[in-house]
A and B are shown apart, each in its own frame.
Chain A
Amino acid sequence: MASSIENNNEKLTLKSSDGEEFLVEKHVALQSTLLQNMLDSDCSSADVIPLPKIDARTLALVLGYCKKHADASSSKQGELNSFDSEFLKDMDMGALFNLVLAANFMEIKGLLDIAAQKIADTIKDKPHQEVREIFHVENDYTPEEEAAVREENRWAFEGFP
């Protein structure tokens, strides 16, 4: 028993790409499958876990999400749902993208789901030209080919430029 209490209070330090350090309680960190796997294996006795792909602003958001979800009991699903929608409200695309990348890297499924859903909702009614820019996709169609593909699904373009 003593050891489990000790474990609960254990903290670890995460370091963002821009060098900021975050002290995190272990049960909060366990929301991340990546961190969980690192803690399970003995090789991660290091005091500071570097997260080279995640900047401090994003990491703070991620840990806020993890803390809320780690602390809430499973019976409070409704409360968590409203936290989730409030959490992403008014967030700009850049922040959402960083959040998706961080959640993917740290393997936090719930966060990846809600952030990806938010991005999907945002691009749902955007013209394809804009979506192309958002995802940095190079247009490899000739103008004729692009027109032909568009013609195949003409109904889907009604009301679009």
Chain B
Amino acid sequence: MAPCCAYDPLHLVPQISLPLQPNQPLDSRGAFVVHAGSAVYIWIGEKCASDMTDCARTAASHVIAYRVAEGPVVFVKQGEETPQFWLVFETEQDRLRTPEIANKGGSVEGRPVVSLPKVPNDIIFGGILSRLPVRSLLRLMSVSKYWKSMIASDPRLALDQMNRSVKSTCSFDRRRILIWDLDSVFLQDKKWVGNSFFTIRKITCPVEDFSCHLIVAACDGLVCLRKRKMDNVILFWNPLTGETKRVSEPPVPTTPPNFSYGLGYDSSSDDYKLVRICAELSDAVNKVFRTMVRVYSLRHNSWKQVEDFPGQLLRPFLRPLLRPGVLGVFFNGALYWTTYDTQSEDEPWKVTAFDLAKEEFSTLEVHSDFKPESSYIQIRLLDEKLCLYYPPPHRERWERERGRSSSNFWLINEHDNSETWSGYAIDIPSCKTFTPLCLLKNDEQVSLAYGEGKIGVYNLEDRTLVRDLHIPGIPKDFEEVTFTENLISPDTYNGLIR
């Protein structure tokens, strides 16, 4: 590159490294930045103006910063060139003379050929590796020390990887289900094979006695654990990389009967926030409890209190041992809970949202046909959609009213800041309730857990149970959350966007 026009010294002109020799010098009016592999040379001509020299220095630093050239920067004045400097052009010349070496490489299948062209690191990490699933990346930590450090701690790579996971069209590649029972945690391991089943893999817990613990929140690839008997410690955990972080939480006098946590990502502050909703003693003398809300920032490692929770949390009515507190569901920048208002008789249930950027509560406006006949409204994230559902209520009445406003399974999709609601009816004979696990076939089907440890595929259009799935090793009773694998390290998290 050479700054060529004196009136615009910032303008850089790319130039092929022509055969240059001591007897055919470079243009003495210019400064030339020469990228030579082992160093970046700045050659300054005899008649070169000083502002051009400065620009050349800036350009050289850009080449090093953005194009991953290797330093150091070596200044060479015209007439003082070293033999090494001229050697740079010799080798370049030789290389140009035999271009077939550089271009012939490649292999169709299998063994790579040594002569593949070398790709700069910014393309390798930013362009290629960020498109790989975490499992591949963890293996590639074994390539070299530099690769390990990039995969383990480069925030840009972690962000790109995560964004691409979310957008990934083959959702089961990256988006899985995290499952737990009283003793163990499992992760959905393989995508659907032949559309008939998936497999789960028991994963190593960061605590020895998982049975004394609860999973209280999860978002993307981060999971929060707490002891059943509150000991004022929350453990952040990335189950794929195994990294953890211990966080002290504001103490409560006794383990409260009703509590909830929610974990979400706030893009405005580039931060993961854990929200705790918990009855706390606000007046010790008169024993007054308030449903206080505290927000923990992973980035700043600090708690703060925000406005009290508006309403009453719905208690999960099933498996109180597995899930004594409901999990707030992260969707589109906010956490969602279903709440129950004992004061209101018309519409006692509500969907309450907590905006993670504004740190304010609001009520989600529901579809006019959403009229639950049950107070057991459950909320889940299914793929990238919010799902509200409740068990089919009094069967006879429901049968009669079918076709009117009887949808008990709603999918809420976000498009250009407005939500679209789609209602379906799920009713499985001789089964009181169900838990949706994931959507299949463009949302025509949903896989769900029902009855005594059964997992089936339900067709939403025909309202029929299509088939049962066999999932080896799945616990009879389990809880689950949607999980998107990523590389985020809870311990060193300092924002994803720099």
Contact = CB atoms under 8 A, between A and B. Distances in A.
A131 B147 CA distance: 11
Contacts of A160: 139
Looking at B104, B114, B115, B129, the one whose CB has the most chain A CB atoms below 10 A away is B129
Interface stretch (A3-11, A22-30, A66-74, A120-128): A120-128
Interface string A125-141: 10110111111111111
B144 interface: yes
B299 interface: no
Interface stretch (B10-18, B214-222, B259-267): B10-18
Interface in A79-121: 90, 92-98, 100-101, 104, 112-113, 116-117, 119-121
Contacts of A149: 141-142, 148
B233 interface: no
B136 A124 contact: yes
Contacts of A57: 103
Given A98-B103, A130-B112, A137 B143 contact: yes
Contact of B104 (A17, A18, A94, A156): A94
A43 B124 contact: no
Contacts of B99: 17-18, 55
Contacts of A150: 142
Nearest to A113: B127
Given A94-B113, A138-B144, A119 B138 contact: no
Interface string B19-42: 000000000000000000000000
A113 B4 CA distance: 33
Nearest to A97: B117
A133 B136 CA distance: 16
A75 interface: no
Interface of B is mostly: loop
Contacts, number: 131
Nearest to A136: B118
Interface residues of B, number: 52
A120 B132 contact: yes
B311 interface: no
Looking at B103, B117, B142, the one whose CB has the most chain A CB atoms below 10 A away is B142
A92 B141 contact: no
B107 interface: yes
A57 B275 CA distance: 56
Nearest to A124: B136
B12 to A, nearest CB: 10
A52 interface: yes
Nearest 3 pairs of A and B residues by beta carbon: A94-B106, A120-B131, A92-B106
16 contacts: A43-B5, A43-B11, A94-B117, A97-B117, A97-B119, A101-B117, A116-B128, A120-B129, A128-B143, A130-B112, A131-B143, A132-B143, A146-B142, A149-B148, A150-B142, A160-B139
